[in-house]
Chain A
Amino acid sequence: MLTIKCPWCGEREQIEFTAGGEAHIARPENTAELSDEEWGAYIYTRTNPKGVHYERWVHSHGCGKWFNAVRHTVTDIFWDVYKIGEEKPAVPEDWDGATTRAQYQAATQKTAAPDGNEK
């Protein structure tokens, strides 16, 4: 069971949500001109990464709203959630999904501290 943060309602249990697959897949404008391969790629081809995944969720039993999320597919830890239409958040390349965003940022600040005692 995951705990997922709805951008409006806050932290709720996964049972209240429905997953909506990969995010940021735009429907092609020129559908009549697409080849079968191009159409198939739009419908079926997904990045399926081991690691950072941008995906859609809907708070189906709560506010009923769709939103986007960044989840690490190995650890199921969410980097962030954001509303539809908002900018895709950048994720640092060295984030391994073992920590939350807050933990990662706290650790990064520590190692970058001027006294240099950490690391």
Chain B
Amino acid sequence: MAEPGVTQRLAAAGAAFTDPPAEGTVSTEPGALDAAGTRSPLSGLLGPAGGPVTFEERPFVGKLTLRGDPSNADFMAAAGKVLGTDIPTDPCRFVEHDGFRVHWIGFDNWLIHVPEGAEGPLKTKLEAALEGIHSAIVDVSDYYTVIRVQGAKARRLLQKGCPIDLHPRTFGPGQCAGTVFHHAAIFLAQTDADTDGGASYDIQIRWSFARYLWDYFVDGAREWGG
């Protein structure tokens, strides 16, 4: 049998935007819908199972961006009180507290991940606490989705398209960074280091770029089967 060409190979991996995903890569489940009936961008797609790297969408994670002046003690205290934890001032770090995750994006800019549905109430609370303090809170939940990548080859998969050195000597759990994966802008957070030398990452990607990243991951993971 002839070796399949690049086009067939990519199509089999579900890599072309216009092609329907190949058989066996789509769930027969109805897929993730939010309370309003919106389908998540990667709804129904199945990543590799049982191999050294797995990935799955975490649809509808609540996402807020918070902006304010870190040298303003009132701002830091008010935001910290609502979140129950000091917001991080060290570059490229995140903190976790009570189901909330607060990521440093820039020195006056934070990204907050919360469970689905918690973003609205949190936004209201933050706005009330920061009343009169120079700041901004924006709900960006539907602007992005999140893909969780984990396993022994998770780092190897990400290094196929991400220019940041993710080796444990320079990058570890609790660190996050805005960067790129090939042509797509991503926000990457390392959530865990597995005992088998692997790791777990959450990759935040713009809604309309999610399928691009997903298909790159599918193609990138093929060498390890699964």
Contacts and interface: CB of A to CB of B under 8 A. Distances in A.
Interface of A: 8-10, 12-13, 15-16, 59, 61-65
Contacts of B106: 8, 63-65
Given A63-B178, A64-B178, A9 B105 contact: no
Nearest to A63: B106
Nearest to B104: A63
Nearest to A1: B163
10 contacts: A9-B91, A12-B163, A61-B180, A62-B178, A62-B179, A63-B105, A63-B107, A64-B105, A64-B106, A64-B178
A61 B92 CA distance: 13
B185 A61 contact: yes
A65 B107 contact: yes
B177 interface: yes
Nearest to B92: A9
A16 B180 contact: yes
Nearest to A64: B106
B222 to A, nearest CB: 25
Nearest to B107: A8
A8 B178 contact: no
A16 B162 CA distance: 10
A16 B179 contact: yes
B138 interface: no
A15 B178 contact: no
Contact of A61 (B91, B109, B178): B178
The size class of the interface chain B forms with chain A is: 10 to 19
B136 interface: no
B91 A16 contact: no
**Most chain B beta-carbon neighbours within 10 Å: one of A13, A59, A63, A64:** A63
B65 to A, nearest CB: 11
A63 B163 CA distance: 15
Contacts of A59: 178
A7 B164 CA distance: 16
A62 B91 CA distance: 11
Contacts of B91: 8-10, 63
Contacts of A9: 91-92, 177
A82 to B, nearest CB: 14
**Across the A-B interface, the 8 shortest Cβ-Cβ residue pairs:** A63-B106, A13-B163, A8-B91, A62-B178, A64-B106, A61-B180, A65-B106, A61-B185
B224 to A, nearest CB: 26
Interface string B170-213: 00000001111000010000000000000000000000000000
